[in-house]
Amino acid sequence: MKKLFALPALMGLVTALSAGAAQAAFGGAISYENCGCNVVDPCGPSTHTVMKTVRKVVYEPETVTGTKVVNQIVYEDQQVQRVRYERETHQREVSYTVNVPVRETHTGVRNYTVRRPVYETRTKQVTYNVSRPVYETHSKVVNYTVMVPHRETHEKVINYTVRRPVQETRTKTINYTVMNPVRETHEKVVNYTVMNKVMETREQVINYTVMVPVTETRERTVNYSVTKPVNYTKTITVRGGSWQTVEEEVAGPVIRRTVREPGTWTFDPATCKNVYCPGECRVECVQCPPKTVCKKVWVPTCEEKTIDCVRYEKECLTKVVPYTVTKCVPECRQKTVTYNVCKLVPECRQKTVTYTTCKMVPECRSKDVTYTVCNWVCEPRSKVCTYTTCRLVPECRQKTVNYTTCRTVCEQRVKDVCYTVCNWVCEQKSVPYTYTTCKIVKECRTKTVPYTVCKPVTYCDTIKVAKCVKSCVPYTYTRCVAKVVCEEVPVTVSCDPCANAGAGAGNAGNGNMGGRGLFNGRLINWLRGLRCHGGCHLFGNGCGAGNGAAGGCAAGGCDAAPSCGC
pLDDT by residue for the chain (566 residues), tens only, comes to: 444 555 656 666 655 554 443 343 344 434 444 444 443 444 455 677 888 888 888 888 888 888 888 888 888 888 888 888 888 888 888 888 888 888 888 888 888 888 788 888 888 888 888 888 888 888 888 888 888 888 888 888 888 888 888 888 888 888 888 888 888 888 888 888 888 888 888 888 888 888 888 888 888 888 888 888 888 888 888 888 888 888 888 888 888 888 888 888 888 888 888 888 888 888 888 888 888 888 888 888 888 888 888 888 888 888 888 888 888 888 888 888 888 888 888 889 888 888 888 888 888 888 888 888 888 888 888 888 888 888 888 888 888 888 888 888 888 888 888 888 888 888 888 888 888 888 888 888 888 888 888 888 888 888 888 778 888 888 888 888 888 888 888 888 775 544 443 334 334 333 334 334 444 455 555 665 555 443 333 333 333 333 333 333 333 333 333 333 33
Contacts 24+ apart (CB under 8 A), 355-359: 355/185, 355/186, 355/187, 355/188, 356/183, 356/184, 356/185, 356/186, 357/183, 357/184, 357/186, 358/181, 358/182, 358/183, 358/184, 359/181, 359/182, 359/183, 359/184
> Is there a contact between 269 and 296 (Cβ–Cβ < 8 Å)?
no
Query: Shortest CA distance to 504 belongs to which of 522, 526, 534, 528?
Result: 528
**Strand 291-495 vs strand 46-250: parallel, antiparallel, or unpaired?**
antiparallel
Estimate to the nearest angstrom the gap between the alpha carbon of 334 and the chain centroid.
44
Distance CA 80, CA 460 (A): 6
Other Cβ atoms closer than 10 A to 39: 19
DSSP conformation letters of 234-254: EEEEEEEEEEEEEEEEEPPPE
Distance from C-alpha of 505 to C-alpha of 528, rounded to nearest angstrom: 7
Contact of 497 with 537, CB cutoff 8 Å: yes
Distance CA 97, CA 446 (A): 9
Terminal CA-to-CA distance of the chain, rounded, Å?
A: 33
Residues ≥6 apart with Cβ < 8 Å to 183: 356, 357, 358, 359
Nearest to 41 by CA among 559, 530, 499: 559
Cβ atoms of 497 and 534 within 8 Å: the answer is no
At residue 566, the 3 state secondary structure works out as coil
Is the pTM higher than 0.85?
no
